[in-house]
Structure 1
């Protein structure tokens, strides 16, 4: 390559065709003040990725914040947190992060386009955001910049909201060994977005998990009314309102249950001691407010996808590479469908995610996973995937494994729902297929324990 051509590809802004590790740049998606976001594709699997590259000659603060975001996201694996695919540095020393590509728009753009959400839709969103924050808080990380612009909505029009939390650039570790723990943010320094900042952030005090709960209250207000609770002509005006003004009630601006007011007011307490103690307490009160005091009974259900790839004939280096590439594609597809990859073996993968509480949203989530799995097996069966590799996928629904890991005859007990031998193609259990039979061509599998069906195509 001639020096001028190389400069065009790898200059201050990466050009189309620039190769960054295993990702090939396709185009610039967003130019920010300290970094540029590119759409890229994996050279082997073709999977899309978001490539975030720091601009040349960054400040020390920007450089440390960028590296901290990569390390934080790498450790926080959750179906509602954007996944990191890799990170490193360019030849000129600029760091980059490769993340899963999210086809959607942030909640601020969503609200601007469609208007406020119903209380039940807002609950669906905050359930997902809350579960993501719980994972972060359990890892000792507070996000500190939760806002509508940092939550990406992936669902299409008419579907239940499905979201992912992004941008941990100002996340703060709560313990010395937590991802994001550093001396970058000192007491007395205010970081975050004024429209969502808790009073202690404005005062530059050390954050804790309740700092994110304040932002959840702000987000809840914005979701159901279409506007943030506090607005002003200047940053100082907004900060003064967060510090001194009582939060407005959402019922004064939108037709929502007055019980929702109490959730917002407590979440946005001026003193963190006045807020909910944790995410779970906030979500429980929000469920009661939205459902009129009726709480769902029984365990939380989850949908799981188990994939097993096998080689035909004698293993060779090239065929092993094809198997690895196929499993990478399966993992990427599972994450795009909202699943969290829990187990990755030499030839298998298990991914799962909790299902929404509302019946229609739960059915839509199962349909999304089944259609994603069907696309994978069709990719192999039509010859689009490299041979000689066979792929077998089973989709099942069962109670979500509990925190202690006890999962007797549940999703983590594979012999209870994965047929042996698994054969090839897509198999769905009755629990996974229920209510979706009209849209899929399926035939019963004889001898299966759970009433399994082999799914061959969509109708």
Structure 2
């Protein structure tokens, strides 16, 4: 009976309750080609853990066994805040090796991109600062990851921290390990979507191989798709070997300077790439933050579109009233730091770049929304024959920051200036606010979706200003 129970727990796939080292299996989370990943708990403390166990059919393959054991040793020596921690490793009675690692509550970057779409250039920089720090530590310890891809970077649920995982095909770089490493020249290991040309040719990898993967990852983060795609592995390999790198700026609103960083990472000859992660990150910081003369960059900006809506008979006196009201709007937006970018006979658009810091950015949007609400609650003009009402619409999107005279920068074009995409359909009272502009500001106001336009909200106060 005991043997049958043990067989059910420790068969080809471990069942809930199986004890592996000091950890109890709870359930299967991922079935890979060589190993299965389980969610487990530490037997004494109950703390969660990720348990990676080699599948039985590979336990007798010397190469696979050596790579699996090398991964455990590699992770154990790479104690870094942005690399997954190894808690324990060993073998089951039947010879299958296992690795117990910290449980990462979150999702990998591929799932993150699928759920929320491409990252902004600044968000991508924040991710790559962390991944680059992890790679720098690995390279310093004589290890190249050589399977750097979105699926192998996990974004934790809280705090925006990321961790590099899966060193299963990592290669020891130190000369003394060259004769005993798990792989050698002539063996192709990695993932076709992000594989460097030298990997495809079966050449020995080095730190610059990871720089190629870092360029692929950067392109995917800001565009939502890998630079090269194909229906077969051969098609993908041909592109990595011979095709020019697509420009990310043609697929997403990122600074053109980011293209140069990606292109240098993905040079076909590794000698033409960055020598190390530090140089790549330094150039990426400059590209994203817009350092240097004549630099054009995309920034998040808030736009306030105010229309003077006229109902009834329109004459010169009514038009003069509209001019007066819009001049008052201009004065109020100027005082808040917004500048008029587009102006017509009965409307104007004022814009301002938003701060990078989240709390300051949210406060800036709140101030503009408060002012927009005050406009609807302030002086309106009405006679027996005509009524003039101010109807504001608020939106946040990307705008172009361009160098101007005397070294000053000014906002120019960009998606924010496409008024037809976010104006129109105002009900005539309160403020219309897009999802991007309202995010985090819902408290203290009455809000509802505009009928037929789920991305637009109608906002008004619980109690109007007196």
* Bin for the TM-score computed over the shorter chain: 0.5 to 0.7
1:207-246, CA deviations, whole angstroms, 9 ceiling, x for partnerless residues? 1111100110000000000000011111011111111111
Partner in structure 2 of residue 57 of structure 1: 57
Whether 2:162 is the aligned partner of 1:163: answer yes
Scaled by the length of structure 2, what TM-score is found?
0.61
Structure 2 residue ranges without an equivalent (≥5): 293-355, 360-466
Partner in structure 2 of residue 128 of structure 1: 130
Partner in structure 1 of residue 367 of structure 2: none
How far did 1:360 drift? Answer: 4.8
Partner in structure 1 of residue 275 of structure 2: 277
Q: Which has the higher contact order (CA 8 A, sep 6+)?
A: 1
Partners in 1 of 2:168 and 2:84 — Cα distance? 13
Instruction: Give the conservation status (yes or no) of the 8 Å contact 1:54–1:95.
Output: yes
Worse-superposed segment, 1-10 or 168-177: 1-10
Runs of 4+ in 1 over 2 A off after TM superposition: 180-184, 358-361
Scaled by the length of structure 1, what TM-score is found?
0.62
Partners in 1 of 2:39 and 2:110 — Cα distance? 21
- Seen in structure 2, the aligned counterparts of structure 1 residues 167 and 91 have a Cα distance that, compared at 3 Å, is same
Partners in 1 of 2:247 and 2:261 — Cα distance? 10
How far did 1:155 drift? Answer: 3.1
Between Structure 1 and Structure 2, the one with more strand by share is: 2
- Seen in structure 2, the aligned counterparts of structure 1 residues 164 and 105 have a Cα distance that, compared at 3 Å, is same
Whether 2:172 is the aligned partner of 1:152: answer no
Partner in structure 2 of residue 353 of structure 1: none
2:240 to 242, 245, 255: 242
Partner in structure 1 of residue 80 of structure 2: 78
Whether 2:28 is the aligned partner of 1:36: answer no
Partner in structure 1 of residue 46 of structure 2: 46
Partners in 1 of 2:170 and 2:191 — Cα distance? 12
Partner in structure 2 of residue 114 of structure 1: 116
1:31-67, CA deviations, whole angstroms, 9 ceiling, x for partnerless residues? 1121111111111221100011111131222211111
How many residue pairs were aligned?
Answer: 295
Instruction: Give the conservation status (yes or no) of the 8 Å contact 2:229–2:236.
Output: yes
Query: SS of 1:53's equivalent?
Result: strand
How far did 1:176 drift? Answer: 3.8
Instruction: Give the conservation status (yes or no) of the 8 Å contact 1:84–1:99.
Output: yes
1:404-432, CA deviations, whole angstroms, 9 ceiling, x for partnerless residues? xxxxxxxxxxxxxxxxxxxxxxxxxxxxx
Instruction: Give the conservation status (yes or no) of the 8 Å contact 2:217–2:226.
Output: yes
Partners in 1 of 2:156 and 2:176 — Cα distance? 33
Instruction: Give the conservation status (yes or no) of the 8 Å contact 1:173–1:181.
Output: no
Bigger Rg, which one: 2
Partners in 2 of 1:252 and 1:83 — Cα distance? 38
Whether 2:93 is the aligned partner of 1:91: answer yes
Structure 1 residue ranges without an equivalent (≥5): 295-357, 362-459
Partners in 1 of 2:210 and 2:143 — Cα distance? 10
1:337-383, CA deviations, whole angstroms, 9 ceiling, x for partnerless residues? xxxxxxxxxxxxxxxxxxxxx7559xxxxxxxxxxxxxxxxxxxxxx
Partner in structure 2 of residue 446 of structure 1: none
Partners in 2 of 1:182 and 1:133 — Cα distance? 22
Instruction: Give the conservation status (yes or no) of the 8 Å contact 1:230–1:241.
Output: yes
Partners in 1 of 2:42 and 2:233 — Cα distance? 41
Instruction: Give the conservation status (yes or no) of the 8 Å contact 2:249–2:256.
Output: yes
Instruction: Give the conservation status (yes or no) of the 8 Å contact 2:227–2:246.
Output: yes
Query: SS of 2:57's equivalent?
Result: coil
Instruction: Give the conservation status (yes or no) of the 8 Å contact 1:173–1:182.
Output: no
**RMSD (Å) for aligned C-alpha atoms:** 1.8
Residues 176-325 of structure 1: pairs in structure 2 closer than 5 A:
176-177=175-176, 182-293=180-291
Partners in 1 of 2:168 and 2:107 — Cα distance? 19
How far did 1:181 drift? Answer: 7.2
Partner in structure 1 of residue 2 of structure 2: 2
Partner in structure 1 of residue 173 of structure 2: 174
Instruction: Give the conservation status (yes or no) of the 8 Å contact 2:39–2:50.
Output: yes
How far did 1:177 drift? Answer: 4.6
Query: SS of 1:105's equivalent?
Result: strand
